[in-house]
Amino acid sequence: MTLLDVRNLRVTFQTETGPVQAVRGVSFSLGRERLGIVGESGSGKTITGRAVLRLIRPPGRVEADAMVFDGQDLLHATDREMRALRGKRIGMVMQDPKYSLNPVMTVGRQLTEGLRLRDGLGRADAGAKARAALEAVQIRDPDRVMDAYPHELSGGMGQRVMIAMMLIPEPDLLIADEPTSALDVTVQAEVLSILDALVRDRGMGLIFISHDLRLVARFCDRVLVMYKGRIVEEIAARDLMAARHPYTQGLLNCLPRIGGPRTPLPGLDRSGAWASGGAP
Amino acid sequence: MTALRQWLQDPSPASRRQARLGQMWLAWLRIRRNRLAMAGLVIVGTLLVVAALAPWIAPHDPLAQDLTRRLLPPLTPGNLLGTDDFGRDILSRIIYGARITLYIIGLVAVTAPVLGLLIGTVAGYFGGWVDATLMRLTDIFLAFPRLILALALVAVLGPGIGNAILAIALTAWPPYARVARAETLTVRNSDYIAAIRLQGASPARIIAGHVVPMCLPSVIIRVTLDMAGVILIAAGLGFLGLGVQPPLPEWGLMISSGRKYLFEQWWVATMPGLAIFVVSLGFNLLGDGLRDVLDPRSAAR
Amino acid sequence: MSLIEVENLSVTFRAKGREVRAVEGVSLTVAARESYGLVGESGSGKSTILRAICGMAPVTGGRIRIGGQVLPTPRGRAFSAQVQMVFQDPYASLHPRHTIDRTLSEPLAIHGVAGSDARVVQALTDVGLPPSFRFRYPHQLSGGQRQRVAIARALMLQPAILLLDEPTSALDASVQAEVLNLLDGLRRDRGLTFLMVSHDLAVIDHMCDRLLVMQHGRAVEELARDDLAAARMATPYARSLFAASADRMLEPAGGATE
């Protein structure tokens, strides 16, 4: 079943030096699976994620032939309809929890605010639901975290709170933009297993945006490799390490490896036809 | 001309001088694109020209009294903006007053922000007891209403325009120190300050060369916003007989003397008030534009 | 004789009446021309050791010697000419309102070195940047280009020791490879000594001869490069860190095809 269908998505930013195309014709569809979008900085992967939620502000402009989420046209939805979708049916987790949580509000208040305002739950019910969400992301002492301010939490804890917050309304689609890049490897593994369980148990769709090919190969079902606003390769995640496309191969080869030779690392050859802007 | 422009716009300048001139050229282009800033520049420029050419463009002697022609309304032949209670031409007084206003603004603008920047950045950079001492001093100055403090200072120093300016400058620096300290605290622990410290730079060099440029934009905005207040405090001191002395045509003094006739002969106070308004607006617009120009990051976009 | 000797170093931060022991009794020695790595998760105190060497962290115990000399406090100019640092975030380590030229010539001006024009151009060429970049501002450069400028700045005073604090963790993979190659080449050509911090075992393995695994401010285990590749660790923590980096091995478990 298709949850999200995007056809020929284009995002243009109007700048002083003329229009800049950040995303140039990206098409993909997503079922209840884990879709990875990888690419280097400036490849348009973050913009793609934000464009789906219509979070691109002017001077940015979003165009597409179609952008449909569960039967609803995202391109022509009103701002009010988009607000109803955001958070409730489509959640988003950003890279750095520090900038996504309100620093002067306790975690508990931020978690329950939506429940009480939107769903009209009472204080006790909202609190119980928030605590359950924190437990779902493997936070062992939810009561302490509920009373804490964001700066009192470690990076991993903050990121788990962010995920909990996004999961309370039980969205059908979660867009996670580099959700683990700021975390240590061991914490990273925990956060990933939480996301994994959610996709499996709740049948949620997940768009996982990352620059880390190895991580995406391990964690996702399907991977889109982006370069300069285009998808250069779409590949099953388990085949990623054996990717045929020169760009994907180049990205893999330039990573240092434990036990590898001390010779200079191979650079990324950008002379191929794919780099100059032709279709892949 | 085109050769010069090309030389200025060369993306890879050959020398530091060319790079600096190129930057200034870019800044000029940027301020020219900003319509409001250009309006501000035109107003401030007009003020400068009017002050410089006052004896040639003023239709009358600003001090010449003519009691037969007192309190004439605007648009009277010979007195475009009317006359005041001594029959002096208001337009001429405003034109000459531009000189005094410019003198006050200029001196305050070069003294108070410099003092405030120095105290604020030093306090913010060193922290600890230096910070505590300097900031308590700032608080003491901030605790008194500015006019009262200026009054006390002028009372000690004696009346006159020079002492009035000194008094205003001495009471105007604390807000700049506060702004500069706040900015310094945000840059103090940044990596680029750590890097320059690691290069062996002295605190004086770090503050002057690396911290002050980061504080300058917000201080400049503050200064331009304060200009109207400075003019008014100068007027207040003049009104109390402690600043500019009558019959000198200072704008604030003109407003206070026109206060008596506000309801029947409104123009006596309104015309210099409009002059103050336009000049402060000009400084504000220019300040806003300067902030954009001073930030090289805005150039690329 | 070792060039860098850190002996029983402790660093304690005090804030709001609370004490945070960032580093506790860590000792390490780095020989001249050696490349030494510090690995650990965030909060393990690895970056704090670099800052302590530079005199930017409150040392509460132990000794740091460079070339056999105990370092003076504050560090002074002689130290600047001997030890320099490259920071993690290239977006935060260059002054946003100074041109590249100003950034690179500032150390020369501080130390009264003549001929800064030629030296700045040379320094840019050495790190693989065209001289036309000289009068640009940091915001006009990409992350990798900025990090090259930061490396050039660190080398302006021709120090013997370079402290590298996660120099490539903010960069893309392809740019990371370029910067690592650049650092490796500079070390070979100039006989530099590296003390490098990273959370990425593969980067440390590629760059360093020996490494120290750290956790919660303490040294866990010192490993030679060969021991790491052969998974010869004695402590469980080092082993778990290694296991978490399994996908960074030369031949991943999935079996990459060439």
Convert the pLDDT of each residue in C17-27 to its tens digit.
778 888 999 99
Return the bridge partners of A173, or none. A90, A205
Evaluate if residue C35 carries a pLDDT over 90: yes
The closest alpha carbon to B227, from B160, B168, B292, belongs to B168
Residues of C in contact with A258 (CB under 8 A): 201-202, 205, 228-229, 245, 248-250
Residues of B in contact with C145 (CB under 8 A): none
Contact C86, C146 (CB under 8 A): no
Q: Do B198 and C85 touch (CB under 8 A)?
A: yes
B19 contacts chain C (CB < 8 A): yes
**CA dist list (Å): C55 to A275, B211, B283, C193, C240:** 46, 20, 45, 19, 33
B24 contacts chain C (CB < 8 A): no
Q: Do C173 and A265 touch (CB under 8 A)?
A: no
C157 contacts chain B (CB < 8 A): yes
Q: Do B197 and C150 touch (CB under 8 A)?
A: no
Q: Find all residues with CB under 8 Å of C35, minimum gap 6, and list them.
A: C187, C193, C194, C196, C207, C208, C209
Q: What is the structure's pLDDT at B301?
A: 38
| Test mutation, A183, A258, A271, chain C, max C CBs within 10 A | A258
The closest alpha carbon to B284, from B227, B218, B215, B213, belongs to B227
Residues of B in contact with C77 (CB under 8 A): 200
Q: CA A99 from chain center: how many Å?
A: 16
C13 contacts chain B (CB < 8 A): no
| Test mutation, C247, C249, C251, chain A, max A CBs within 10 A | C247
Q: Of B13, B197, B299, which is closest to C135 when you measure between CB atoms?
A: B13
Identify the closest residue of chain C to B217 by CA–CA distance: C97
What 3-state class would DSSP assign to A139? Answer: coil
Residues of B in contact with C115 (CB under 8 A): none
Q: Where are the alpha helices (DSSP H) in chain A?
A: 45-52, 79-85, 97-100, 107-118, 123-136, 142-147, 155-167, 185-202, 213-219, 246-253
* A vs C: CB pairs below 8 A: 100
For C113, counting Cβ atoms within 10 Å of its Cβ (0-12 exposed, 13-18 middle, 19+ buried), the class is middle
* Cα–Cα distance measured from residue B165 to residue B147, given in angstroms and rounded to the nearest whole number: 12
Interface of A with C in 211-230 (CB under 8 A): 211, 213-215, 217-218
Characterize the bridge pairing of strands C193-198 and C161-165: parallel
* Cα–Cα distance measured from residue A220 to residue A217, given in angstroms and rounded to the nearest whole number: 6
What 3-state class would DSSP assign to B31? Answer: helix
Residues of B in contact with C135 (CB under 8 A): 12-13, 16, 19, 22
Q: What is the structure's pLDDT at C126?
A: 92
Q: In this structure, is residue B67 part of a structural domain? A: no
Q: Do C206 and A265 touch (CB under 8 A)?
A: yes
- Please say whether the dihedral angle defined by the alpha carbons of residues C57, C58, C60 and C64, taken in this order, is positive or negative: positive
pTM of the model: 0.84
Interface of B with C in 190-209 (CB under 8 A): 190-192, 194-202, 205, 209
Side chain identity at residue B131, one-letter code: D
* Cα–Cα distance measured from residue B252 to residue A100, given in angstroms and rounded to the nearest whole number: 50
**Binning pLDDT at 50, 70 and 90, where does residue C251 land?**
low
Return the bridge partners of A205, or none. A173
Show the tokens assigned to C62: 């132990």
Q: Of B16, B22, B199, which is closest to C80 when you measure between CB atoms?
A: B199
Count Cβ atoms below 10 Å from residue C167 Cβ, excluding itself.
31
| Test mutation, A187, A257, A263, chain C, max C CBs within 10 A | A257
Return the bridge partners of C64, or none. C6
**CA dist list (Å): C28 to A201, B111, C43, C195:** 48, 53, 19, 11
Average pLDDT of chain C, as a whole number: 88
Q: Of C76, C93, C117, which is closest to B192 when you measure between CB atoms?
A: C93
Fold of A1-89+173-256+264-280: Rossmann fold (3.40.50)
Count Cβ atoms below 10 Å from residue C128 Cβ, excluding itself.
16
| Structure letter (DSSP) for residue B296 | T
Count Cβ atoms below 10 Å from residue C31 Cβ, excluding itself.
14
B217 contacts chain C (CB < 8 A): no
Q: In this structure, is residue B125 part of a structural domain? A: yes
Contact C55, C76 (CB under 8 A): no
Phi and psi torsions of C118, nearest 5°: -65, -40
Q: What is the DSSP string of B141-193?
A: HHHS-HHHHHHHHHHHH-SSHHHHHHHHHHHHHHHHHHHHHHHHHHHHTSHHH
Q: Do A267 and C249 touch (CB under 8 A)?
A: no
A260 contacts chain C (CB < 8 A): yes
Show the tokens assigned to C81: 């000419």
Q: Do A185 and C241 touch (CB under 8 A)?
A: yes
Residues of C in contact with A46 (CB under 8 A): none
Q: Of C177, C240, C244, which is closest to A265 when you measure between CB atoms?
A: C177
Fold of C2-91+158-248: Rossmann fold (3.40.50)
Q: What is the DSSP string of A170-225?
A: --SEEEEESTTTTS-HHHHHHHHHHHHHHHHHH--EEEEEES-HHHHHHH-SEEEE
- Please say whether the dihedral angle defined by the alpha carbons of residues B188, B192, B197 and B202, taken in this order, is positive or negative: negative
Residues of B in contact with C92 (CB under 8 A): 190-192
Residue A43's Cβ-side half-sphere holds a number of Cα atoms within 13 Å equal to: 22
The closest alpha carbon to A34, from A155, A229, A247, A193, belongs to A193
Low-confidence ranges of chain A (pLDDT < 50): 278-280
Length of chain B counted residue by residue: 301
* Cα–Cα distance measured from residue B177 to residue B115, given in angstroms and rounded to the nearest whole number: 8
| Structure letter (DSSP) for residue C249 | B
A275 contacts chain C (CB < 8 A): no
What 3-state class would DSSP assign to C222? Answer: strand
Return the bridge partners of A14, or none. A19
Convert C68-77 to b/e letters by CB count within 10 Å (16 or more is b): eeebeeebee
Identify the closest residue of chain A to C258 by CA–CA distance: A242
For A16, counting Cβ atoms within 10 Å of its Cβ (0-12 exposed, 13-18 middle, 19+ buried), the class is exposed
Domain boundaries in chain C?
2-91+158-248
Helix or strand (DSSP H, E) at B272: helix B267-294
- Per residue in C126-144, pLDDT (tens digit) is 999 998 888 888 888 888 8
**Binning pLDDT at 50, 70 and 90, where does residue C100 land?**
very high
Contact B250, B243 (CB under 8 A): yes
Q: How far is C119 from chain A (nearest CA, A)?
A: 27
Q: How far is B179 from chain C (nearest CA, A)?
A: 19
Residues of A in contact with C203 (CB under 8 A): 256
Q: Which chains touch C (3 or more CB pairs under 8 A)?
A: A, B
Q: In this structure, is residue B4 part of a structural domain? A: no
The closest alpha carbon to B113, from B35, B213, B220, belongs to B220
Q: How far is B80 from chain C (nearest CA, A)?
A: 49
Identify the closest residue of chain B to C80 by CA–CA distance: B199
Identify the closest residue of chain C to B192 by CA–CA distance: C93
Identify the closest residue of chain C to B300 by CA–CA distance: C140
For B5, counting Cβ atoms within 10 Å of its Cβ (0-12 exposed, 13-18 middle, 19+ buried), the class is exposed
* Cα–Cα distance measured from residue B116 to residue B172, given in angstroms and rounded to the nearest whole number: 8
* Cα–Cα distance measured from residue B195 to residue C92, given in angstroms and rounded to the nearest whole number: 10
Residues of A in contact with C250 (CB under 8 A): 257-260
Q: In this structure, is residue B9 part of a structural domain? A: no
Q: How far is C72 from chain A (nearest CA, A)?
A: 35
Q: CA B222 from chain center: how many Å?
A: 9
Convert C173-210 to b/e letters by CB count within 10 Å (16 or more is b): bbbbbbbbbbbbebbeeeebbbbbbbbbbbbbbbbbbb
More confident residue, C93 or A133: C93
∠ CA(A135), CA(A141), CA(A143), 5° rounding? 95
Contact A174, A158 (CB under 8 A): no
Q: Do B198 and C76 touch (CB under 8 A)?
A: no
* Cα–Cα distance measured from residue C147 to residue A277, given in angstroms and rounded to the nearest whole number: 27
Q: What is the structure's pLDDT at B296?
A: 57
Q: Do C89 and B209 touch (CB under 8 A)?
A: no
Q: In this structure, is residue B39 part of a structural domain? A: yes
Residue bearing tokens 């600043």: B243
Q: Do B19 and C101 touch (CB under 8 A)?
A: yes
Q: How many structural domains compose chain B?
A: 1
Convert B252-276 to b/e letters by CB count within 10 Å (16 or more is b): bbbbbbbeeeeeebebbbbbbbebb
Q: Which chains touch A (3 or more CB pairs under 8 A)?
A: C
**CA dist list (Å): B129 to B133, B135, C12, C18, C73:** 6, 10, 22, 21, 20
Q: Of A185, A189, A255, which is closest to C173 when you measure between CB atoms?
A: A255
Identify the closest residue of chain A to C178 by CA–CA distance: A267
The four Cα atoms A127, A130, A131, A134 give a dihedral, to 10 degrees, of -160
Q: Find all residues with CB under 8 Å of C133, minimum gap 6, and list them.
A: B12, C100, C124, C141, C145, C149
Q: What is the structure's pLDDT at A239?
A: 84
The closest alpha carbon to A153, from A192, A133, A183, A120, belongs to A183
Q: How far is C244 from chain A (nearest CA, A)?
A: 6
Please report, for the domain that includes residue B254, its CATH number: 1.10.3720.10
More confident residue, C25 or C251: C25
Residues of B in contact with C117 (CB under 8 A): 16
**Binning pLDDT at 50, 70 and 90, where does residue C258 land?**
very low
pLDDT 10s digit of each residue in chain B, 301 long? Answer: 778 887 877 777 777 788 888 878 877 888 888 888 899 899 999 999 999 998 898 888 888 888 888 888 888 888 888 888 888 888 999 999 889 888 888 888 889 999 999 999 999 999 889 999 999 999 998 888 888 888 888 888 888 888 888 888 888 899 999 999 999 998 998 999 999 999 999 999 999 999 999 998 888 888 887 877 787 788 777 777 777 777 888 888 888 888 888 888 888 888 888 988 898 888 888 887 877 776 655 544 3
Q: Do C106 and B201 touch (CB under 8 A)?
A: yes
More confident residue, B226 or C55: C55
More confident residue, C147 or B162: C147
